[in-house]
Copies of this chain bind each other. A is one copy, B any other.
C-alpha cells in the first residue's frame, strides 16, 4: 500500500482546508491547482484528491461538487500542519486592553472576557471559574431584610462570596440579628465546613428561641453554600452559533442553543479541560456530547490560584479558522491567568 501521505498531498490538503475555511464552498481541482503553488495540472490534483478521499480526509457532498475536508482532515491539519501562532497585534491589543485596569470587578471581567473572545473568533465563548470545594470561612454577615427574613453573606478564605436568603419561622428583632451576626462571625471565622457544629453554636450566649432559630438557619445556609459548588459559566456570543452554523440545519442549531442554556451541560465540558494541561481541540464526532458533534470545540485551562484551574473555550463550526482561534484562546487564557493568578510567594 503506497497510500501514505507525502508532502504534495499535505500541501493539497492544506489548500483545500484553507479555501474551504475562507469560502465555505466545496473546493474543486482547478481552484486548488491555481492556488496551491504546485506547478501541476488540475488532473494531477484530481488524482491526488481521489487518494485523499480514499484515505478518509476528503469527501464530496455530491458526485460532482468539489471536495470538503472531513473531521479527520481537520484533525490532521491541527496536529501536523499548523505551527504555534500568536494573535495579530491588533487582536492581542484588544485582549490586553481588557486587563489593563488596576482594579477590576471579577464577575464583570469574566463576562467581558467571554464577550470579547466570542467577537474576535466569531464563535460562542465559554469562560468558567470554578471554586475550591472545601474552604474556610473568613467572614460571615447576617443582614436583616425583614422581621421574618435575613440575608446570610459568607466570605471564604479564598475570597468567594455567597449570598443566601433565609426565611425565619419566628420574627426577630434588629438587635438579635446584629448580635447573632457578630456572634456567628466570631465563632465561625477561620473554620472549615466540617468543623462547624450547628448544635454547639445554638447553645451560644443567651439567645431567645427566635435567636436560636436564626443561628440554626444561618448555619444551615452557610453549610449549604460551602458544600454546594456554586459554579457559573459565562457565555458570550451565542448569536454567532446561529450565524456560523446555519448550514448545519435549523433544528440542530436549536438543540445546541438549548443545551447551552443548561449550565450542567457546559460544566462537564469545561471540567474535562482542567485535567489536561494543554490546549484541547475536539472536532466533530470527537466530542463526547452529541450536541457538539457537528461543531468544533477549542478550549484550555488557565490558573486561578496555586492548585486551582479555571477553563475557557469556544464552540464554532468545524470549518473554523483553527490557527486564529487557537492562538486567541491561548492568549486569552494566558492573560486571564496572569490577571487572576496569585504568584507563589
The 0/1 profile, CB within 8 Å of B marked 1, for residues 237-274 of chain A is 11100110010001001100110110000000000000
CB pair A151–B143 under 8 Å, yes or no, is no
The 0/1 profile, CB within 8 Å of B marked 1, for residues 64-80 of chain A is 00000000000000000
In the bound complex, CA of A261 to CA of B260 (Å): 14
Chain A residue total in the interface (Cβ 8 A): 64
CB pair A105–B342 under 8 Å, yes or no, is no
Taking the closest CB of chain B, its distance from the CB of A147, in whole angstroms, is 6
CB pair B238–A106 under 8 Å, yes or no, is no
CB pair A230–B109 under 8 Å, yes or no, is no
Taking the closest CB of chain B, its distance from the CB of A302, in whole angstroms, is 14
Q: Does A83 make an interface contact (CB < 8 A)?
A: no
Taking the closest CB of chain B, its distance from the CB of A154, in whole angstroms, is 10
CB pair A103–B340 under 8 Å, yes or no, is no
Known: A139-B139, A141-B138. A146 touches B257 (CB 8 A): no
Q: Which residue of B lies closest to A257 (CB)?
A: B239
Q: Does A92 make an interface contact (CB < 8 A)?
A: no
CB pair A250–B246 under 8 Å, yes or no, is yes
The 0/1 profile, CB within 8 Å of B marked 1, for residues 35-63 of chain A is 00000000000000000000000000000
Q: Which residue of B lies closest to A160 (CB)?
A: B163
Of A18-26, A198-206, A217-225, A276-284, the stretch lying at the interface with chain B is A217-225
CB pair B221–A103 under 8 Å, yes or no, is yes
> With a CB–CB cut-off of 8 A, which chain B residues contact A159?
141, 143, 145, 151, 153, 163
Q: Does A148 make an interface contact (CB < 8 A)?
A: yes
CB pair B165–A163 under 8 Å, yes or no, is no
Q: Which residue of B lies closest to A152 (CB)?
A: B103
Q: A residues engaging B (CB < 8 A)?
A: 102-109, 115, 118, 138-139, 141, 143-149, 151-153, 155, 157-159, 161-167, 217, 220-221, 224-225, 228, 230, 232, 236-239, 242-243, 246, 250, 253-254, 257-258, 260-261, 305, 339-345
